[in-house]
């Protein structure tokens, strides 16, 4: 045993000459101190020695271990930034731990809930650019050239041909140009209108448009879809009504009202969405055969929906970034 200790010490002294960087230092450390390393093997053999042999070899073996460890520690400090540590095992294949910062805004929570309901009703989700052409935003949707919405008082024009979209209906135009019916989709996103800011209106808001085009689509199906949405979102006891209305891109058209009961104020009907059967001119503008296909469309404001559900009295609080308000949701 003593002879093996001397040979191991001599071999280690030779190996010291080959240590030139942190990588070679780590290789030598493993050679001597790993579970199957030379010093570990010597200790394994030491356990099987007789009591007399242990007295002769034990001290020398401990001295060898201390000598090798001290030399490696000295060399470790001579390589800056390359400390060798007995670190815990890390499984690099494990997924990282997500750092959650803050929470979803109440409008995004509302929008996610709307998306989930319509996905359950068979609608896919499509999005489009916020900077839109005048053709997609107005002309293709059957807006006449002299429609008030084209005026600078209502629309943020970037130049003569482009504007900040006033609704997400242009995504319907893009979708029908790219895909022949059947089409069943919703189009969520931000929209912009040059309106006076008040408790019930804002120059920026979020909207969800819906479109279903196929053969044999009826107004009764549109009504059933919107009622199913209202009952899932507001509860089965929600009070609603449909009123005749007019939109350039649908005929016949209607508006849907929900009974709004704010805290400490009289209740009243509040319009939450417009809807109707897609005007044949819109289908013709995107190359869809209006003699064969028919469809319905609807559009709702996310802010209005959130006002109703959470009984909030002023739309402006959604954009004030007041932590006292946001932390309630």
Tens digits of residue pLDDT in 241-265: 999 999 989 999 999 998 877 677 7
247 bridge partner residues: 250
| Environment class of 152 (CB within 10 Å of its CB; exposed 0-12, middle 13-18, buried 19+) | exposed
216 phi, psi to nearest 5 deg: 65, 35
What local confidence, expressed as pLDDT, does residue 31 receive? 84
What local confidence, expressed as pLDDT, does residue 114 receive? 94
For 165-186, b/e burial (b = at least 16 CB within 10 A) is bbbbbbbbbbbbeeeebebbbb
What local confidence, expressed as pLDDT, does residue 87 receive? 53
DSSP string over 301-312: EHHHHHHHHHT-
In angstroms, rounded to a whole number, what is the distance separating the alpha carbons of residues 274 and 206? Answer: 14
pLDDT in tens, 294-324: 999 999 989 888 888 887 878 888 888 888 8
DSSP 8-state assignment for residue 157:
B
Segment 159-172 mean pLDDT: 91
**Tokens, residue 132:** 């839109």
Check: CB of residue 61 under 8 Å from CB of residue 42: yes
Task: Look at 4 and 177; give whichever has higher pLDDT.
Answer: 177
- Looking at the chain, the whole-number percentage of residues with pLDDT higher than 70 is 93
**Tokens, residue 20:** 């030139």
pLDDT in tens, 58-109: 788 788 888 888 888 888 777 655 444 545 566 777 777 777 777 888 898 9
> How far is Cα of residue 160 from the mean position of the Cα atoms in its chain?
35
**pLDDT mean across residues, the chain:** 85
Task: Look at 95 and 117; give whichever has higher pLDDT.
Answer: 117
Confidence of residue 151 (pLDDT cuts 50, 70, 90): low
What local confidence, expressed as pLDDT, does residue 149 receive? 64
In angstroms, rounded to a whole number, what is the distance separating the alpha carbons of residues 84 and 29? Answer: 9
In angstroms, rounded to a whole number, what is the distance separating the alpha carbons of residues 270 and 268? Answer: 6
Q: How far is CA 53 from CA 47, 61, 62, in A?
A: 10, 12, 14
Domains of the chain: 2-77 (no CATH), 106-326 (3.30.930.10)
Residue 212: strand, helix, or coil = strand
Using CA of residue 224, residue 228, residue 234, residue 235, what is the dihedral sign? positive
What local confidence, expressed as pLDDT, does residue 40 receive? 84
Ordered alpha helix ranges (H), the chain:
2-16, 22-33, 38-46, 51-77, 106-120, 134-137, 169-178, 219-234, 280-285, 302-310, 323-326
Q: How far is CA 77 from CA 17, 69, 73, 83, 163, in A?
A: 16, 13, 6, 7, 65
What local confidence, expressed as pLDDT, does residue 12 receive? 78
CB atoms within 10 A of CB 45: 12
Does pLDDT of 26 surpass 80?
Answer: yes
pLDDT in tens, 215-247: 999 999 999 999 999 999 988 888 999 999 999
């Amino acid at each position: 045993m003593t002879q093996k200790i001397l040979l191991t010490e001599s071999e280690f002294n030779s190996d010291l000459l080959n240590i030139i960087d942190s990588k070679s230092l780590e290789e030598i450390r493993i050679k001597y101190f790993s579970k199957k390393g030379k010093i570990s093997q010597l200790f394994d053999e030491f356990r099987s020695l007789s009591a007399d042999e242990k007295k002769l070899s034990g001290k020398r073996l401990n001295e060898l271990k201390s000598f090798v460890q001290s030399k490696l520690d000295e060399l470790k400090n001579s390589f800056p930034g390359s400390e060798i540590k007995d670190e815990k095992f890390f499984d690099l294949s494990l997924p990282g731990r997500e750092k959650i910062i803050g929470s979803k805004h109440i409008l995004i929570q509302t929008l996610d809930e709307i998306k989930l309901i319509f996905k359950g009703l068979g609608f896919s989700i499509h999005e489009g650019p916020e900077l839109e052409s005048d053709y997609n935003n107005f002309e293709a949707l059957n807006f006449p050239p002299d429609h008030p919405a084209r005026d600078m008082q209502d629309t943020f024009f970037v130049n003569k041909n482009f504007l900040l979209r006033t609704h997400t209906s242009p995504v319907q135009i893009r979708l029908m140009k790219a895909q022949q019916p059947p089409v069943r989709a919703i189009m969520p996103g931000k929209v912009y209108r040059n309106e006076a800011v008040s408790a019930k209106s804002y120059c920026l808001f979020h909207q969800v448009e819906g479109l279903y085009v196929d053969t044999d689509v009826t107004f009764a199906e549109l009504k059933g879809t919107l009622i199913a949405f209202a009952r899932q979102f507001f509860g089965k006891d929600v009070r609603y009504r449909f009123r005749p209305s007019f939109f350039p891109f649908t005929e016949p058209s209607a508006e849907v009202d929900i009974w709004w009961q704010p805290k400490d104020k009289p209740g009243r009907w509040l319009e939450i969405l417009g809807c109707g059967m897609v005007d044949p001119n819109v289908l013709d503008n995107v190359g869809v055969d209006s003699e064969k296909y028919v469809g319905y469309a609807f559009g709702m404001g996310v802010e209005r929906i959130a006002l109703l559900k959470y009984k909030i009295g002023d739309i402006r609080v959604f954009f004030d970034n007041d932590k006292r308000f946001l932390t309630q949701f």
